[in-house]
């Protein structure tokens, strides 16, 4: 799920049935919903106390596909999946620059400019060690951020893997000498409408601050959480 939330525990019994357990009652509610909705509405929307320990029989895959298509239809405006839109040997550059008016109306946002890209270095890395058949697993991307505090561009490499219709990318030690386990610092890339992509940063994993500092622990506290990025010429992402 988005932001790396755990769904449940899964196991198969001796008859080939799937046992789903440890299902949290608030699994389909956003974090902080209890405060926003109030206790009564929160309890109404949450799952019941007995909504757990389900024994599921095997069903034809086409049945599940039809149900997913019904409850979560594909938005044609989103276009092809990222792994289809972006090829293993393809350089790309996405970004956004925020003007003074935007920054003035978003005082809790630090990011003035952001770029997400694959350039010659990232392409060469995948060409030498990557596997096209498992694309985008093992693909490197670079994220460059300029903030209102530092004023200088900070760049961090992330190593990605495919996860459903998104890319899940962990901070890489290839361009870092941090003492902590920066592999726990993750971002998510999703396809957006009209060729755009969305970068989700749920756990303060952008190169805005030292990824091992106390300020980088836990959830992102500023407005630097979700970015809607437009395609840009490769020159806009030059190091």
Entry pTM: 0.71
What pLDDT was estimated at residue 182? 66
Q: How confident is the model at residue 100 (pLDDT cuts 50, 70, 90)?
A: very high
- Domains of the chain by residue range: 2-73, 82-237
- Rounded to 5°, the CA angle 223-35-50 comes to 120
Tokens 């789903």 -> residue: 20
3-class DSSP state of 42: helix
> Maximum distance among all alpha carbons in the chain?
63
- 60-64, 88-92, 149-153: range with lowest mean pLDDT: 149-153
- pLDDT of 119 above 70: yes
- Greatest mean pLDDT among 133-137, 145-149, 155-159 lies in 133-137
Averaged over 100-126, what is the pLDDT?
92
Q: Identify whether the C-beta of residue 198 lies closer than 8 Å to the C-beta of residue 227.
A: yes
Domain 82-237 class in CATH: mainly beta
What pLDDT was estimated at residue 202? 72
What pLDDT was estimated at residue 136? 95
What pLDDT was estimated at residue 77? 80
Strand partners, 25: none
Which tens digits make up the pLDDT trace of 210-237? Answer: 666 655 555 666 778 889 999 999 999 9
User: CB within 8 A of 120, min separation 6: which ones?
Assistant: 91
Q: Minimal CA–CA distance to 118: which of 183, 182, 169, 194? A: 169
Which tens digits make up the pLDDT trace of 163-197? Answer: 877 899 988 876 555 566 666 688 999 998 888 99
What number of other Cβ atoms are within 10 A of residue 137's Cβ? 17
What pLDDT was estimated at residue 102? 92
Q: Which helix (H) or strand (E) element contains residue 155?
A: strand 153-163
């Amino acid at each position: 799920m988005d932001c790396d939330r755990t769904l449940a525990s899964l196991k198969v019994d001796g008859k080939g049935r799937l046992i789903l357990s440890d299902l949290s009652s608030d699994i389909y509610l956003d974090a902080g919903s209890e405060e926003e909705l109030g206790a009564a509405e929160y309890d109404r929307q949450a799952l019941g106390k007995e909504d757990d320990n389900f024994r599921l029989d095997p069903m034809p895959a086409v049945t599940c596909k039809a149900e997913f298509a019904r409850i979560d239809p594909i938005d044609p405006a989103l276009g092809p999946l990222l792994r289809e839109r972006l090829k293993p040997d393809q350089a790309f550059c996405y970004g956004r620059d925020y003007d003074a008016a935007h920054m003035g109306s978003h005082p809790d946002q630090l990011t003035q400019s952001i770029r997400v890209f694959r350039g010659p270095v990232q392409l060469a890395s995948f060409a030498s060690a990557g596997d096209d058949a498992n694309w985008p697993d093992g693909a490197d991307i670079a994220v460059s951020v300029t903030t209102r505090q530092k004023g200088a561009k900070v760049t961090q490499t992330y190593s990605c893997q495919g996860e459903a219709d998104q890319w899940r990318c962990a901070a890489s030690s290839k361009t870092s000498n941090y003492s902590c386990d920066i592999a726990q610092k993750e971002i998510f890339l999703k396809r957006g409408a009209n060729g755009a992509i969305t970068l989700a940063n749920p756990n303060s994993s952008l190169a805005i601050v030292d990824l091992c500092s106390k300020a980088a622990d836990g959830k992102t506290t500023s407005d630097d959480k979700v970015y809607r990025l437009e395609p840009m010429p490769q020159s806009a992402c030059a190091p």
